Chain A
Amino acid sequence: MSPLAQDLVGGGLGMLLRIFVILVPIVAALDLMKSYGVLARLRRPIAPVLRCFGLEPASADPFVAGIVFGLVYGAAVIIARVREEGLARRQVELLAVFICMGHALPEDTLLFVAVGANGWIVAGVRLLLVLVVALVVRAWRGGRAGPAAAGRVATGGAPGAAPASP
């Protein structure tokens, strides 16, 4: 088998399997926690922090999943939330800031620290930049996503979101 075919088939299947093994348990566990009301309780402590950036409580777990586990898993949780809870479009766009620019912060930083980078600078500057961009985006187009809007959107299907359950 040529190296290309080996990479395509072997590497590809390996990647799909690895993502399956990590992703399905994460998303399933989050859904289970949601069914039993655990998630709502876990979301409460970080809700004030999220509100600073115009994010509503329903965005908490995609946010955490994206920062801690990486873009792939954050994206999966977002897609699931849009489908299941009708996460609003503005929320997706705001989440994209964090997930795009700040995903897998711990993993990425440690990876480069292992080859000699200064972890404090790498993580600190990146964190700062994410916060700045998030506040800019919030001021620019998420200004009304304050507490009032968050409460309203959270109670029902947002316009343009996934069809709400019957």
Chain B
Amino acid sequence: MTHPLRPRLEPVQSHFRAEEPAGPPPAPPPLRPALAHALRVGLTAYRELLVILVPTYVAVTLLKHSPALPWLTAHLSPFMGHFGLPGAAALPMVLGLLLGLYAAVAALAGLGLAPGEVTTLALMLGLCHNLIVETGLLMRMRAHALAWTLVRVGTAAALGALLGPWLAGGKP
């Protein structure tokens, strides 16, 4: 926390924090130390993300190559009817939940689903995707990661059950 640049940047920070407009604004800081500080903040942010991104990426990649995905897909397909979706939609669903939206869209393209069914999937997966990595990031943010993940899954399921059958009815 004690960085040689800190004292120089401090007056600007206090100006930014004050809600009331102060009299004369403080002089702008010299460019070079400000740039160095910005770069340092950027690199620190990157390093702090790596701590969570690397392990979750490894976990997701291992999962992608494991037999867990086809197993899960097979077991989820009977439930797709609740969302007005055909059983085949379980594949993009599982890929989206665990790997990410790009994997889901790639799998979806070949299925030939109706526009309403794609809309249902988009709604559900938009709320709730890439859960392994994103739960890790929430943890790193020090938010209530598990609670938020449950809220996401819950709202996605509720939304799918509520709107899915209507959307599959051929409306949009």
Contacts and interface: CB of A to CB of B under 8 A. Distances in A.
Given A35-B37, A37-B12, A100-B152, A23 B53 contact: no
Interface residues of A, number: 70
A135 B102 CA distance: 31
Contact of B42 (A7, A31, A99): A31
A29 B42 CA distance: 8
A64 B45 CA distance: 17
Given A27-B45, A117-B115, A12 B58 contact: yes
B112 to A, nearest CB: 10
B121 A112 contact: yes
A30 to B, nearest CB: 8
Contacts of B159: 125, 129
Nearest to B41: A31
B2 A166 contact: yes
B70 to A, nearest CB: 16
B46 to A, nearest CB: 5
Interface string B13-56: 10111110000010011000011011101111110111001100
Interface string B101-120: 11001001100010110110
B41 A96 contact: no
Given A8-B61, A20-B46, A79-B140, A100 B105 contact: no
A29 B126 contact: no
Interface residues of B, number: 71
A3 B65 CA distance: 9
Given A12-B58, A23-B49, A28-B38, A75 B137 contact: yes
Contacts of B38: 27-29, 31-32, 35
A56 B46 CA distance: 25
A34 B39 CA distance: 13
B119 A122 contact: yes
B127 interface: yes
A5 B144 CA distance: 33
Given A12-B54, A28-B38, A100-B143, 12 more contacts: A12-B58, A24-B39, A29-B38, A32-B34, A35-B34, A80-B41, A80-B45, A100-B152, A108-B126, A112-B126, A113-B122, A121-B167
Interface of A: 3-4, 7-8, 11-12, 15-16, 19-20, 23-29, 31-32, 34-37, 39-40, 71-72, 75-80, 82-85, 89, 92-93, 95-97, 99-101, 105, 108-109, 111-118, 121-122, 125-126, 129, 133, 151, 154-156, 163, 165-166
